[in-house]
Structure 1
Amino acid sequence: MTFEEVRRLLRLMNVEMDQEYAFGLFQEADMSNSGTLEGEEFVYFYQALTKRTEVHEMFEQFSDDGQKLTLLEFVDFLREEQKERERATDLALELIDRYEPSESGKLRHVLSLDGFLSYLCSKDGDIFNPACLPIYQDMTQPLTHYFISSSHNTYLVGDQLCGQSSVEGYIRALKRGCRCVEVDVWDGPNGEPIVYHGHTLTSRILFKDVVATVKQYAFQASEYPLILSLENHCTWEQQLTMVRHLTEILDDQLLSSTLDGLLPTQLPSPEQLKGKILVKGKKLGTLEDDLEDEEEVTEPQLERQQGSELPLGSPSEPVTLELSHLNKDKKKKSRSVLCPALSALVVYLKSVSFRSFTHSKENYHFYEISSFSETKAKSLVKEAGNEFVQHNAWQLSRVYPSGLRTDSSNYNPQELWNVGCQMVAMNMQTAGLEMDICDGLFRQNSGCGYVLKPDFLRDIQSSFNPEKPLSPFKAQTLLVQVISGQQLPKVNNTKERSIVDPLVRVEIYGIRPDTTCQETNYVENNGETAVLGKEVVGV
């Protein structure tokens, strides 16, 4: 490689170096004085290019001879810099064996600079607390006590107006640990229900293909229960087809009755529901009615039902579900026919309309769940934050993005988690800050999609209000020492001369007084080895 080719390579690697400095490195590496770099010369050049002086300084700070870290020296580093207070010696031995490239170094229990760099850039050098990576939380509490990773319009891989519907949306969501997926079902041709965003130009997929995909991927990333949020717009006949696909394809994974056949007093736990798929949707009557009906079924009746496609009724005897709601002081009624067989598949997650927190407390059961648009939910947070917290301590809530978000953008989920909303549904196909926050919360607990809420969000007598927080604790400051960054991505990969001016921004999300942001100064024209001057960022 000639010097001009090297300069071009540097730009592709996101480095715009001083020409004189770059030429000095080139000449130093050109040991054959040929005017080009070949073989080992290029290796030497690359090592000089990627040398991280700031890391060398830290290495030498703990190394007595500047060449290696002895076992005791490495233990000191782990304790002082990495805050590894417990079993530091055993950890040091494990890391040396894992990252020291020299076999003799491993035998002598020492860590070279190369091994030290390998460790810092590995998962073991991650700032994330390793104790929070496996399942570490209590998974035996009722479902209402957990934040649940939830998806909105899961079938979409694009926008909500004319985007593509695909089973790939379900695959992606389930692989990232999502535990509540949405299925909008409408009448389709040839008697087969279809899934798409109704009254739009989004493409259609078969309901049975969605169910088959769910069957295949439901428990690959997490063994804890998966919730199918059904938005049913089908006629009676195609609802029966839905029931057939759900029961035949999902088989024993589908939860179709209470766990022990008895009336529960609270929702079961993720632990009790392992490997189960729950249907959320409209339901005729109550869970109590279902259990009473089961007790009253005689042997002849049971035989007739087993030979019939309709375990609870028939098309000639339509059952009408009446839903009443207030709209501008006028009471309106909407009537929709719900198939009893589909209703029977809804056990612990009966969808009900929200009117007020008082109405819910006086009229609803713990197994009934209300859905809120982001606009309505945010309004309730501001108007009745404490009531919302208490409500979510005993009943599940699902929040979904505004219908005005036609581009499938997202809202900040933290605002709804602050009042304990369990299912804060996200457009998972849309990357951005909001999905980063969501991924951040659910990265813990083995990414299983369930995160235990703090105790003050699980107490039905809680006095917590995120809009007026009163805390007995003193405010704390987080100090982050930023050393450097390396091999940062280009802003625009299509432009060879596009070089970043990197900085580090530290952000905290929580209730309003806790939400803050600070950032370091930026480094001009360097994405390869940006030394940020060991700035301390306080938030």
Structure 2
Amino acid sequence: MIHVDNNKTQTQSLPTVPEASQEWARFTKVSDGVIKYPLFRIDPDEGQILYESKKKKGIKIIPIESIKELRFDADSSYYRTLFKLPPDTQSRWITIIYIREGAYKVTHLIAPSASVFKLWKESLTKLYAVRQGLMTGNFDHVLRDVIWEKQYWKTADHDGDQKLEFENVQNLCRRLSLHFSEAELRNLFNAADVHDRGYLNYVEYQELIKLLKKRPEVQTLYEHVSGGKLDFAAFKSFMLHSQESKLDDKGLEVLFTKYSGIDYSNGSTPPSTTTKDLDTRPPDAIMTPEAFATFLRSLDNAAILNQNKVVHHDMTRPMSEYFISSSHNTYLIGNQLVGVSTIEGYIRALLHSCRTVELDIYDGSDEPMVYHGKTLTSKVSVREVCHAIAKYAFASSPYPVVISAEMHCGIQQQDMIVQIMKDAFGDALISAPVEGRAKITSLPSPEDLRGKIMLKVYSSPTLLPTKNLNISSGLRVKKAPPKTAPVDDDSSSSSSSTASSASHVSHSSLLGEIKDLKSKLARKVRSKSRTKHKEMSFALASLLVYTVGVKCRGIGASEHYEPEHVFSISENSANKYLSTSMLDLVKHTQSHIIRIYPKGTRVDSSNYEPHLYWAAGAQVVAINWQTFDLGYMINYAMFQRNGRSGYVLKPLALRPGNESLLQKPTKHYLDLTVRLI
């Protein structure tokens, strides 16, 4: 059990971690088909997994707080199959996905026995929950302090003698970036060393931590706000005038009661307070300086209260009126040229509420495969990807997922893709017969499509190999050209003419005809390239309902698109529109979805800054989720909003009927007031 005994407080406890999991055990470690047998153990106090590394000639560490996901037994069947390991290993399989130096890492372990597997599953699950609680602020302030204090004590007491000398404290402060002069730190150390022994035990170390964390400015603020006694009237005044709180009197009383009358300096934790507790609060209750400091650091004093946990936007507007969390080349976990294609990218993105994922699909020897064409990236089957999407699509958000597919398959494997999707997604998959569809006048809302999965694939009037039909895209579909394109009439005529009269033309005329022939031949090659694998099966067309991919023909009054038409443009094209047709782009995105994707030269999977395109109303601004750069962080921050649902309602100026707002330039200022009291 991880606990801290303090003679001034009650014992603080955390979930029990079996001691046996803290002992070294030899696991099978699988990576890219390479099998090793290193020793592993769990350190619950420091919150990490340790294992042998012959390459490093020492111990490597996986911090539990860096873990993004844990998978056990059947949840890791994809990898067991991928590495062609026997079925009996499945029941002892552990997959750990974590971040190291800004990159995703995956470690696969096979426990030596069922009992060890059960032990590790229990321990890792509990510790992972604790660390996630710490990182997301779900634990109260005091409990967080207990965990961190224990962790850093063990780090500083590296020889395990339960004593911290002054040099140990100096090293700890450097690690925590606490910049005290040697004289200042020596004074604090001596104040904590009440027995004048030249070292600190754990209780004295806790006292030192309190001295290190002491904030004189908070005490000064407390005196200014309260006049020495922070009762409810003073607290209410502070919340309304300084914090600009929107809570009513009842809400403020609940908040005050939660923190008042409790001496937080002795380790007590804030109670879970409701309105029924107001009657039990003494009329003369006050909030102590320690409680006030705890309140200032708590989620109750967060700049945006509860908005990161609750869906609070109107979700009944057409989908075109939302920014949608989106990914580019979702299947990659490396760069665009030699990265690894895997289901991992889909799981990662969907667990973070990404609502648009991408597949580049090619004919496989047996079934369709996903990978980045004309590169050295590895391949993953469409079947595996779809089963991963089915499992994780709505794990973090109930709102619709769009699969943006770049289709390079022939008719046979297109039909196979449709069957795979129907098997994987069932009733969640949006579809409609190609014939007899009603005309779509506006897009449905995210609320209308809760729990639904939609497919977007490029479509054009010449893709369906059949007679004219009305389809949801509003296009007249005609018979597709043969797979082997016929020789162009003009080209044929020109070619024969050149052959029959070559001896009667001048040298310059001959060069001109040769040049013309080359030009026609080039156009023919381009035409064949465009028509190759372009036919679309009826089954695939039936899945294109609200998201029909079309070519961008430009924007403006002269161009018409149906509500369900979606076109994709690169950041380069988008930048041109931003500089030349910004208002046209905004108007188009009021009723139509567009997708922006990174330019092809970003082979390192770097990201643009997505807010540039959101400002023009673009909904699907796709980023590389495997790269933790500024673009990723901006995207992450945007979609922390609205309950992390993956949908954020656009501001009024970018929605229909509010065009006048765009004609009124506004200036925004960020005013910061620093009070030195």
Q: Same fold (TM over 0.5)?
A: yes
Please identify, of 97-106 and 373-382, the stretch whose mean Cα deviation from structure 2 is larger. Answer: 97-106
Which residue of structure 2 aligns with residue 378 of structure 1? 575
Which residue of structure 1 aligns with residue 172 of structure 2? 9
Change (3 A) 1:275 1:261: farther
Which residue of structure 2 aligns with residue 447 of structure 1? 644
CA contact (8 A) 1:229 1:281 kept: yes
Which residue of structure 2 aligns with residue 165 of structure 1? 341
CA–CA distance in 2 between the matches of 1:98 and 1:122?
11
Give runs of aligned pairs for residues 406-425 of structure 1, distance below 5 A. 406-425=603-622
Residue 547 of structure 2, aligned match among 329, 335, 349: 349
Residue 380 of structure 2, aligned match among 182, 196, 205: 205
Change (3 A) 1:98 1:19: same
What's the secondary structure of 1:399's corresponding residue? strand
Residue 45 of structure 1, aligned match among 208, 218, 227: 208
Residue 217 of structure 1, aligned match among 373, 389, 392: 392
CA contact (8 A) 1:283 1:344 kept: no
Q: Describe the superposition over 1:437-488 as per-residue Cα deviations: whole angstroms up to 9, x where unpaired.
A: 2222222211211112223322379367xxxx74265x342212468xxxxx
CA–CA distance in 2 between the matches of 1:161 and 1:482?
50
CA–CA distance in 2 between the matches of 1:104 and 1:282?
56
Give the aligned residue type for 2:340.
Answer: Q
CA–CA distance in 1 between the matches of 2:376 and 2:196?
66
Change (3 A) 1:110 1:414: same
CA–CA distance in 2 between the matches of 1:219 and 1:404?
33
CA–CA distance in 1 between the matches of 2:165 and 2:222?
34
CA–CA distance in 1 between the matches of 2:473 and 2:317?
27
CA–CA distance in 1 between the matches of 2:387 and 2:674?
47
CA–CA distance in 1 between the matches of 2:252 and 2:416?
57
CA contact (8 A) 1:399 1:424 kept: yes
State whether structure 2 residue 443 is matched by structure 1 residue 267: yes
**Higher Cα radius of gyration:** 2
Give the aligned residue type for 2:180.
Answer: M
Which residue of structure 2 aligns with residue 297 of structure 1? none
- TM value normalised by structure 2: 0.61
Runs of 4+ in structure 1 over 3 Å off: 98-110, 129-133, 283-288, 290-293, 317-323, 330-333, 460-464
Q: Describe the superposition over 1:45-97 as per-residue Cα deviations: whole angstroms up to 9, x where unpaired.
A: 111111111112112222233xx632222222211222114314523423542
Change (3 A) 1:141 1:85: closer
Which residue of structure 1 aligns with residue 456 of structure 2? 280
RMSD: 3.3
Change (3 A) 1:370 1:482: farther
* 1:240 positional shift: 1.8
Residue 429 of structure 2, aligned match among 238, 247, 254: 254
CA–CA distance in 1 between the matches of 2:226 and 2:484?
76
State whether structure 2 residue 535 is matched by structure 1 residue 337: yes
What's the secondary structure of 1:348's corresponding residue? coil
CA contact (8 A) 2:361 2:408 kept: yes
- TM value normalised by structure 1: 0.76
What's the secondary structure of 1:346's corresponding residue? coil
Residue 419 of structure 2, aligned match among 244, 254, 258: 244
* 1:132 positional shift: 6.9
State whether structure 2 residue 597 is matched by structure 1 residue 400: yes
Give the aligned residue type for 1:84.
Answer: S
Give the aligned residue type for 1:215.
Answer: A
CA–CA distance in 1 between the matches of 2:423 and 2:188?
68
Change (3 A) 1:56 1:88: farther
CA contact (8 A) 2:307 2:642 kept: no
CA–CA distance in 2 between the matches of 1:388 and 1:119?
46
CA–CA distance in 2 between the matches of 1:350 and 1:292?
6
Give the aligned residue type for 2:649.
Answer: L
Please identify, of 97-106 and 126-135, the stretch whose mean Cα deviation from structure 2 is larger. Answer: 97-106
CA–CA distance in 1 between the matches of 2:359 and 2:452?
17
Which residue of structure 2 aligns with residue 74 of structure 1? 235
CA contact (8 A) 1:282 1:343 kept: no
Give runs of aligned pairs for residues 80-95 of structure 1, distance below 5 A. 80-94=241-255
CA–CA distance in 2 between the matches of 1:88 and 1:162?
60
Change (3 A) 1:150 1:273: same
What's the secondary structure of 1:239's corresponding residue? helix
Residue 321 of structure 2, aligned match among 125, 141, 145: 145
What's the secondary structure of 1:182's corresponding residue? strand
Q: Which runs of 5+ in 1 are unaligned?
A: 294-311, 324-329, 484-532, 535-539
CA contact (8 A) 1:320 1:337 kept: no
Residue 136 of structure 1, aligned match among 276, 297, 312: 312
CA contact (8 A) 2:473 2:562 kept: no
CA–CA distance in 2 between the matches of 1:390 and 1:322?
41
Which residue of structure 1 aligns with residue 184 of structure 2? 21
Change (3 A) 1:12 1:142: same
CA–CA distance in 1 between the matches of 2:406 and 2:451?
23
Please identify, of 237-246 and 123-132, the stretch whose mean Cα deviation from structure 2 is larger. Answer: 123-132
Which residue of structure 1 aligns with residue 32 of structure 2? none
* 1:8 positional shift: 1.3
Change (3 A) 1:181 1:103: closer
Which residue of structure 2 aligns with residue 57 of structure 1? 220
CA contact (8 A) 1:225 1:278 kept: yes
CA contact (8 A) 1:319 1:339 kept: no
CA–CA distance in 2 between the matches of 1:288 and 1:257?
14
